[in-house]
Structure 1
Amino acid sequence: CIIGTKMPAIQWQAVIRQWSVVAALFIVLCDGPTMGHNIEHMPNWLLLISMDGFRHDYIHLAAKSGYNVSAFRRLQQEGISGRTVIDDFVSKTFPNHYTIATGLHEERHGVLSNKFYDPELQRGFDASTSTETAMWNNGSRDASGPEPIWVTAQRHKLHSAVLNWPSSAAKIKSAYPTYSLGLYSHQNAMQADYYIERIANWFETDEHCRLSLLYLPEPDSTGHKFGPDSPKILEMVQTLNDHLSRLLDRFESSKKLKGKVNIILTSDHGMTKLDKSKVIFMDTIVNRSLYNAELSHDYTAWHVWPAAGKEQIVFDKLKAASANQPFTVLRKGDPWLIRSHYNYNRRIAPIFLVAKLHSAIVYNNTCDEYKVLTSGERLGDHGYNNSDPDMHPIFAAWGPAFLANRTVSQVRLVDIYPLCCELLGLHASEHDAGPKLAEPIRAILRDDDDDDQAGKSFYLSSTLVTTFVSFLLVACLTSVFALGAMRAYRTSLYRRNRRFGLLDDTTNSSGGRGGGGGFNHHDRLPLSLDDEDF
Structure 2
Amino acid sequence: MKKVCLLLLSVLVFPLVSSAQENTEPIVLLISLDGFRYDYVARFQPENLSRFIATGVAAKSMMPSFPSKTFPNHYTIATGMKPEHHGLVDNSFYDPEKDQTYGIGKKELVQDGTWYGGTPLWVLAEQNNIKAASYFFVGSEADVQGIRPSYYYAYDGGVSNLTRVTEVFKWLELPQAERPRMITLYFSDMDDVGHRYGPNNEEQLSAALERLDRELGALFEGLKSIDMTINVIVVSDHGMADIPVDNFLNLNELTRNIPGRVVNNGALAHVYLENEKDKKKVIKALEKSAMPIHVTDVDHKENYQDLMYKDRIGDILIIPDRGYYLAWGSALPRIRQNAESLGTEVLGEHGFSPAYKDMHAIFYANGPAFKTGLEIETFQNIHVYPLICKILGLPIPEDIDGKLEVLEPILK
Structure 2 equivalent of residue 462 of structure 1? none
From 295, 299, 302, the counterpart of 1:329? 295
* Residue-by-residue CA offset, 1:432-462 (whole Å, 9 max, x unaligned): 345x5124x111100xxxxxxxxxxxxxxxx
In 2: Cα distance, 1:136 partner to 1:369 partner: 34
From 417, 433, 438, the counterpart of 2:405? 438
In 2: Cα distance, 1:329 partner to 1:121 partner: 26
In 2: Cα distance, 1:388 partner to 1:220 partner: 18
Residue 283 of structure 1 deviates from its aligned partner by 4.2
From 227, 231, 241, the counterpart of 1:262? 231
From 59, 62, 66, the counterpart of 1:85? 62
* Residue-by-residue CA offset, 1:25-48 (whole Å, 9 max, x unaligned): xxxxxxxxxxxxxx9996311100
Structure 1 equivalent of residue 148 of structure 2? 176
In 1: Cα distance, 2:137 partner to 2:195 partner: 20
Residue 89 of structure 1 deviates from its aligned partner by 0.2
Secondary structure of the structure 2 residue equivalent to 1:162? strand
Q: Which has the larger radius of gyration?
A: 1
Matching residue's letter, 1:156? N
Residue 285 of structure 1 deviates from its aligned partner by 3.8
**Residues 382 and 336 (structure 1), Cα distance of their counterparts in 2 relative to 1, 3 Å cut:** farther
* Residue-by-residue CA offset, 1:457-504 (whole Å, 9 max, x unaligned): xxxxxxxxxxxxxxxxxxxxxxxxxxxxxxxxxxxxxxxxxxxxxxxx
* Residue-by-residue CA offset, 1:379-429 (whole Å, 9 max, x unaligned): 110001111011001110000001001011122211111111011000022
Structure 2 equivalent of residue 12 of structure 1? none
Which consecutive unaligned segments of at least 5 residues does structure 2 have? 1-20
Residue 96 of structure 1 deviates from its aligned partner by 0.5
Matching residue's letter, 2:183? S
In 2: Cα distance, 1:431 partner to 1:268 partner: 22
* Residue-by-residue CA offset, 1:125-149 (whole Å, 9 max, x unaligned): 112334547865447xxxxx31100
In 2: Cα distance, 1:117 partner to 1:236 partner: 35
Structure 1 equivalent of residue 266 of structure 2? 299
Q: Could you tell me whether the CA contact under 8 Å between 1:152 and 1:428 is conserved in 2?
A: no
**Residues 412 and 41 (structure 1), Cα distance of their counterparts in 2 relative to 1, 3 Å cut:** same
Paired positions, count = 383
Residue 221 of structure 1 deviates from its aligned partner by 0.8
Q: Could you tell me whether the CA contact under 8 Å between 1:85 and 1:412 is conserved in 2?
A: yes
In 2: Cα distance, 1:343 partner to 1:333 partner: 13
Q: Could you tell me whether the CA contact under 8 Å between 1:305 and 1:351 is conserved in 2?
A: yes
Structure 1 equivalent of residue 350 of structure 2? 382
Matching residue's letter, 1:267? S
Whether 1:278 and 2:247 are equivalent positions in the alignment is yes
Secondary structure of the structure 2 residue equivalent to 1:209? coil
Structure 2 equivalent of residue 243 of structure 1? 215
**Residues 40 and 235 (structure 1), Cα distance of their counterparts in 2 relative to 1, 3 Å cut:** closer
Residue 90 of structure 1 deviates from its aligned partner by 0.2
Matching residue's letter, 2:137? W
From 191, 195, 216, the counterpart of 1:220? 191
TM-score of the two chains, using structure 2 as the length reference: 0.86
**Residues 40 and 77 (structure 1), Cα distance of their counterparts in 2 relative to 1, 3 Å cut:** closer
Matching residue's letter, 1:444? I
Matches for 1:367-516 after TM superposition, within 5 Å = 367-373=330-336, 375-376=338-339, 379-434=347-402, 436-439=403-406, 441-446=407-412
Higher relative CO (Cα under 8 Å, sequence separation at least 6) belongs to: 2
Secondary structure of the structure 2 residue equivalent to 1:107? helix
Matching residue's letter, 1:305? Y
Matching residue's letter, 2:106? T
Secondary structure of the structure 2 residue equivalent to 1:277? helix
Q: Could you tell me whether the CA contact under 8 Å between 1:111 and 1:135 is conserved in 2?
A: no
From 53, 59, 62, the counterpart of 2:41? 59
Matching residue's letter, 1:400? P
Q: Could you tell me whether the CA contact under 8 Å between 1:46 and 1:210 is conserved in 2?
A: yes
**Residues 214 and 156 (structure 1), Cα distance of their counterparts in 2 relative to 1, 3 Å cut:** same
Secondary structure of the structure 1 residue equivalent to 2:35? coil
From 43, 49, 56, the counterpart of 2:31? 49
Matches for 1:89-128 after TM superposition, within 5 Å = 89-128=66-105
Q: Could you tell me whether the CA contact under 8 Å between 1:291 and 1:314 is conserved in 2?
A: no
Structure 2 equivalent of residue 165 of structure 1? 137
Structure 2 equivalent of residue 317 of structure 1? 285
Secondary structure of the structure 2 residue equivalent to 1:74? helix
Matching residue's letter, 2:70? T
Q: Could you tell me whether the CA contact under 8 Å between 1:373 and 1:379 is conserved in 2?
A: no
In 1: Cα distance, 2:302 partner to 2:205 partner: 33
Residue 363 of structure 1 deviates from its aligned partner by 4.0
**Residues 397 and 194 (structure 1), Cα distance of their counterparts in 2 relative to 1, 3 Å cut:** same
Q: Which shows bigger deviation, 97-106 or 421-430?
A: 421-430
Structure 2 equivalent of residue 500 of structure 1? none
Residue 95 of structure 1 deviates from its aligned partner by 0.6
Percent identity of the aligned residues? Answer: 27
From 205, 209, 213, the counterpart of 2:180? 209
**Residues 104 and 342 (structure 1), Cα distance of their counterparts in 2 relative to 1, 3 Å cut:** same
Residue 161 of structure 1 deviates from its aligned partner by 1.0
Secondary structure of the structure 2 residue equivalent to 1:44? strand
Whether 1:229 and 2:200 are equivalent positions in the alignment is yes
**Residues 62 and 52 (structure 1), Cα distance of their counterparts in 2 relative to 1, 3 Å cut:** same
In 1: Cα distance, 2:186 partner to 2:302 partner: 31
Matching residue's letter, 2:232? I
Question: What root-mean-square deviation, in Å, do the aligned CA atoms of Structure 1 and Structure 2 show?
Answer: 2.4
From 322, 325, 329, the counterpart of 1:360? 325
**Residues 418 and 370 (structure 1), Cα distance of their counterparts in 2 relative to 1, 3 Å cut:** farther
* Residue-by-residue CA offset, 1:234-280 (whole Å, 9 max, x unaligned): 211111111111001111223x33xx210000000000111123233
Structure 1 equivalent of residue 15 of structure 2? none
Which consecutive unaligned segments of at least 5 residues does structure 1 have? 1-38, 64-68, 140-144, 447-534
Residue 59 of structure 1 deviates from its aligned partner by 1.1
Structure 1 or 2: more strand by fraction: 2
TM-score of the two chains, using structure 1 as the length reference: 0.67
**Residues 152 and 406 (structure 1), Cα distance of their counterparts in 2 relative to 1, 3 Å cut:** same
